[in-house]
Amino acid sequence: YDSRGVWINLTANSKAAIIYMNLDEKEFTTLCRECTYYKKRKFFDDGVHNLIIQAVFHGYPNFFTSINNFTIDSKKPIIKDIEPKKGFANGVFKINFEEATPSSLILNYGNSSNGYSTAFLDLIKDCVSEKPTTTCSINVNLSKYNEQDISYWFSLKDMANRMTDSKITSLKVDFSKPIINKFNYTLGSMKRINFFLNITEINFDKVVFIDYGSYFPMWRTLCPKLINNICDETRIFSKGEHDIVIKVFDKAGNSAQRSFSV
């Protein structure tokens, strides 16, 4: 139904108490107590309903049960948010929408040079519902668009065949990991360690490290920028054993890492 108002129209062969309940509810609601005929419109929320209607006849332990399954879809799908919204794309796309009865969700992406592609999302496997909203994500291969600009948008359809498209968003593609051409470390005096990395990455973001041998391991910035593709920094560590991981990130979220113990 494309309206929340649904007509319930029924007759009974003798006077009965007519009651109903959705399968996901805990108790019945009375439609009428002493009737052989009932016709009124009841209002239901959007979604799938499994309605049990019972006519309980007086003086008899038996009752008649009718199970009616139907779907209410009275609203056009609403797309609340999409990601990424700006910057770079590495193949991971996300959408958050409000729709009780989605039937299909499609990711459209590409450019005029290499053509456009579509990817169908699985509404069960690719999505997590936290009513009233649903969040879905998909990872697609953007290799043929690497270092190019693309446009993407989502198309969401509900069971009433109403379609909503998200805003068309343009991004630069970067799915390649940063390249660490050279990495070494030098133990200095006074518990100092010098880090040296030669990195190739046109969309460089930062170099970070974590010391799992510290009392409170946490990611810290080592180099917020490169000078001639070089990250050359010194940090002081406490006495003892340290398991250190270095990560290089680009602006699309791709990363490469090295690790060592000292």
What count of other Cβ atoms lies within 10 Å of the Cβ of residue 216? 5
Tell me which amino acid residue 19 is.
Answer: I
Alpha-carbon torsion, ordered 82, 84, 85, 90, to 10 deg: -140
What's the pLDDT at 59?
59
Alpha-carbon torsion, ordered 129, 135, 138, 139, to 10 deg: -120
Q: How far apart, in whole angstroms, are the C-alpha atoms of residue 194 and residue 232?
A: 7
Q: What residue has token string 């794309």?
A: 89
Q: What is the DSSP string of 232-250?
A: EEEEE--SS--EEEEEEEE
| pLDDT of the chain, 262 residues: tens digit per residue | 888 898 988 888 888 888 888 887 888 889 988 888 899 999 988 888 888 888 888 756 556 777 778 888 888 899 999 999 988 998 999 999 999 889 999 999 999 999 999 999 999 999 999 988 999 999 999 999 988 999 999 999 998 888 999 999 999 998 889 999 999 999 988 899 999 999 999 899 999 999 998 889 999 999 999 999 999 999 999 999 999 999 999 988 899 999 999 9
Nearest Cα neighbor of 254 from 90, 132, 85 is 90
Nearest Cα neighbor of 248 from 226, 228, 227 is 226
Antiparallel, parallel or unpaired: β 243-250 and 255-261: antiparallel
Cβ atoms of 223 and 60 closer than 8 Å: no
What's the pLDDT at 231?
98
Phi-psi category of residue 235: left, alpha or beta, with phi > 0 → left and psi -120 to 50 → alpha: beta
What's the pLDDT at 83?
95
Q: 178: burial class by Cβ within 10 Å (0-12, 13-18, 19+)? A: buried
What's the pLDDT at 62?
58
Does pTM surpass 0.85? no
